[in-house]
Amino acid sequence: MALIPAPTVRFAPSPTGRLHIGNARPALFNWLFALRHGGRFILRFDDTDKERSTQAFAEGIAEDLGWLGVAPHAVFRQSDRTALYDAASDRLRASGRLYACYETPDELDRRRKRQLARGLPPIYDRAGLRLTDAERAAHAAEGRAPHWRFLLEPRQVAWTDLVRGDAHVDCASLSDPVLIRADGGYLYTLPSVVDDLDMGITHVIRGEDHVTNTAVQIQIIEALGGTAPVFGHHNLLTTASGEGLSKRLGHLSLASLRDAGMEPLAVAALAVLVGSADAVRPVDSLDELAGLVDLAHVSRAPARFDEAELEHLNARVVQQMPWEAAAPRLAALGIGGGEAFWLAIRGNLARLSDVEGWWRIVAGEVEPVVEDRDFLAAALASLPEGNCDAGTWKLWTDAVKATTGAKGKALFMPLRRALTGLDHGPELGPLLPLMGRDRIARRLRGEKA
């Protein structure tokens, strides 16, 4: 992907629920695009739905984005910007591109059904354009308030898509979209266009379910005298079984993934690399991930977000995490042992929280598994005197082998079970200095220590 001069992108969620991985995907694509090209990222809350939008959901979305590492350069609420939308709608009315319609939802539904029964496409027939002044007055006398539709030009709208290449939509096959409800409230389309123009949005990156919206929005932009941004429409995420994601149902919400101990870098990497030509792999930073993501490599087919694949990727992210990144998080958990402990146990972690179990084994109490007391007694007698160091493990096991004749699994497994209470785990050599000779000796004697 060629360098793009200082793009300005936006993510415009509706604060009607928390983010799931499907709507975090466009947020990440936009953020990574801005990172890669030195641009700006705007968070814009589409809160024009007053009944369903809440401050709590807006705060939750900001929290979810922050957990992923997305830090907006500016934050706006569309509910604060109504005057701009009013001015734009007045301009569209004056130019004849916004017209009043008085049908009720039931009337429109019946009309669509009649059109389908006659084999006609169920698009709006523009009856509102044919109303006389007397008919409008009669509707007003009945107490009907109009909704307002944008008059589409019956032509193809074409653009070069960052993901799909050459794209076009025939607007002659579309109904004139409703921009303003009968109650005076704005639907998504007009505020989005007005804000994109006002905020200087240069690139709009979003899901392929918006392709038709893009054609409509380009016509509105042109009707307002603006220049359309560059568009990119990526494929959508599904569950591993192919189901669509829903924030209302809580499918793969970022909050649930965070609570499950997933690393934000693992979530981000899988969210944007799955379903593309770029192999899914662990990354150390979002800057690294930004260098990997190329929108031109995103597949046209739906991308399946597999939780089992996330678990595997999460383990790889944790296991390659450098000490500098792990240190403050271990300190917050009250974990000691320093870098030596981290390097000794990180290869056995699936989640960072698993570190607590290994710290308990090193510095807390363990119930030893004792299967052969005579063997452990011989091992205790062979334990080198003084403090344990990096060479203790080899000296000790060589001595135990010479004394007992045990080797291989028969040598190492009884020692592991006595010292850790487990039959699996990291190499014991680096753990001995962290455990200390006294704790090792007590466990070899079968004491809980």
What pLDDT score does 244 carry? 79
| Predicted confidence (pLDDT) at residue 232 exceeds the cutoff of 80 | yes
DSSP 308-377: HHHHHHHHHHHHT--HHHHHHHHHHTT--SHHHHHHHHGGG-SSGGGHHHHHHHHHS------S-HHHHH
Topology of domain 365-444 in CATH is: Arc Repressor Mutant, subunit A (1.10.10)
Contacts for 156 with CB less than 8 Å, ≥ 6 apart: 168, 169, 170, 171
What pLDDT score does 252 carry? 84
- CATH 3.40.50.620 maps onto the chain at 8-85+187-238
Q: Which residue has the higher pLDDT, 2 or 38?
A: 38
Average pLDDT, the chain: 94
What pLDDT score does 300 carry? 87
What pLDDT score does 247 carry? 57
| Predicted confidence (pLDDT) at residue 250 exceeds the cutoff of 80 | no
Structure tokens at 283: 């990354």
Q: How far is C-alpha 37 from the geometric centre of its chain's CA atoms? A: 20
Answer whether 196's CB lies under 8 Å from 124's CB. Answer: no
For the stretch 340-387, pLDDT in tens is: 999 999 999 999 999 999 999 999 999 999 999 999 999 999 999 999
- CATH 1.10.10.350 maps onto the chain at 365-444
For the stretch 321-333, pLDDT in tens is: 999 999 999 999 9
Give the whole-number percent of the chain exceeding pLDDT 70.
Answer: 98
179 backbone dihedrals φ, ψ, rounded to 5°: -100, -30
CATH number of 8-85+187-238: 3.40.50.620
The Cα–Cα gap between 141 and 8 comes to 47
| Predicted confidence (pLDDT) at residue 7 exceeds the cutoff of 70 | yes
The Cα–Cα gap between 312 and 20 comes to 20
| Predicted confidence (pLDDT) at residue 87 exceeds the cutoff of 60 | yes
Q: How far is CA 389 from CA 257, 335, 359, 384, 421, in A?
A: 39, 21, 18, 10, 22
In this structure, the number of other CB atoms found within 10 A of the CB of residue 254 comes to: 26
What pLDDT score does 249 carry? 53
Instruction: Kindly indicate the confidence band of residue 155, based on its pLDDT and cuts at 50, 70 and 90.
Output: very high
Instruction: Kindly indicate the confidence band of residue 238, based on its pLDDT and cuts at 50, 70 and 90.
Output: confident
In this structure, the number of other CB atoms found within 10 A of the CB of residue 55 comes to: 11
3-state secondary structure 23-50: HHHHHHHHHHHHHHHCCEEEEEECCCCC
Residue 141 burial class via C-beta count within 10 angstroms: exposed 0-12, middle 13-18, buried 19 and up: exposed
Instruction: Kindly indicate the confidence band of residue 15, based on its pLDDT and cuts at 50, 70 and 90.
Output: very high
Residues 416-441 have a mean pLDDT of: 96
Answer whether 249's CB lies under 8 Å from 113's CB. Answer: no
Per the listing, tokens 């932009």 go with 221
Residues 6-20 have a mean pLDDT of: 94
Residues 403-422 have a mean pLDDT of: 96
In this structure, the number of other CB atoms found within 10 A of the CB of residue 120 comes to: 11
Q: Which residue has the higher pLDDT, 91 or 277?
A: 91
What pLDDT score does 301 carry? 87
Residues 288-312 have a mean pLDDT of: 92
